[in-house]
Structure 1
């Protein structure tokens, strides 16, 4: 199970990094085209925007899986360790449910507005709007990995975080 989690973590990290690379590359190309050749790339802004959206979705799941997401640690640090472990499981369960809600909301959003054509790229907006569903699915998988790890440590007698 640990190998699957590591592979998923590397996939999320790679997709996040690739998204940022696309953003920087497209913005750079657009700037060069606009200011050196006085001919802006019509599609560059949309590609950068969509790459940013996907990068946020992959990065959100990656940060959560690594435990580096933003937390209210002042509250968490104030409670005893056994309560902290219960809070961690509750957060993971809530993240699982919220990821499922994000999947559902993303599907509805893409179904209702996905047929609109992106003006700069000429592709359906579906490909940008489905990012919510992709992010929700990544979050669900990450939450499952965290929950499985927690209960595996509990059943084997290991210390749960």
Structure 2
């Protein structure tokens, strides 16, 4: 992985981590306020939901890279190598096509929602809808950078050693 690609992956991880940390802080604060003081944040549930959706879309490319997306490859693994590689390239094209469509339609969805407001936060609905095109764009960049390694099944953590075996107990 090159320097720019490594920076991109780490920046994407940081964005997802920040979204998850913000969800934790918002929900924790709201629970403490609600049950400890009888008062809650009116915007907490909506904001946490928006951040959760954003985190899921923003992290999808990372999940692909790490081999964490659901893949049923029982029959694919039985195919001859050349056919298996061709099928994986077809999968890359299908994923790319789907994410390109999601990017295109996500932009239209953002434009559609921009004139309407969310219930609790009173921000344009287009703001949380940005999760769609941003997530699709991030996935496409990951796919472009990672496609050849994906086809070769070279996931990010595939080359890491397994957890060391536990030391035998002394008797």
After TM superposition, the score normalised by the length of structure 2 is 0.81
Q: Given the alignment of the two structures, is residue 138 of structure 1 paired with residue 122 of structure 2, yes or no?
A: no
Q: Deviation per CA, 1:66-87: give whole Å up to 9, x if none.
A: 3321101212212122222222
Corresponding residue pairs, total: 152
Gaps of 5+ in 2: 154-171
Q: CA RMSD in A?
A: 1.8
Aligned equivalents of 1:160, 1:100: Cα separation in 2: 23
Aligned twin of 1:43: 43
2:29 counterpart residue number:
29
Point out 4+ residue stretches in structure 1 off by more than 4 angstroms.
none
Please identify which structure carries the higher helix content: 1
Per-residue CA deviation, residues 85-109 of structure 1 (Å, 9 max, x unaligned), is: 2222211122221111011111111
How far is 1:119 from its partner?
Answer: 2.0
- What SS is found at the alignment partner of 2:47? helix
Please name the residue that 1:55 is paired with.
Answer: 55
Instruction: Say whether 1:107 aligns with 2:107.
Output: yes
Q: Which runs of 5+ in 1 are unaligned?
A: 151-158
Cα deviation code 1:42-69 (max 9, x no counterpart): 0101110111011001111111123321
Output one character per residue of 1:96-128: Cα deviation in whole Å (capped at 9) or x when no partner. 211110111111111112221112112111110
- 1:96 corresponds in structure 2 to 96
Secondary structure of 2:60 counterpart: helix
TM-score (norm 1): 0.86
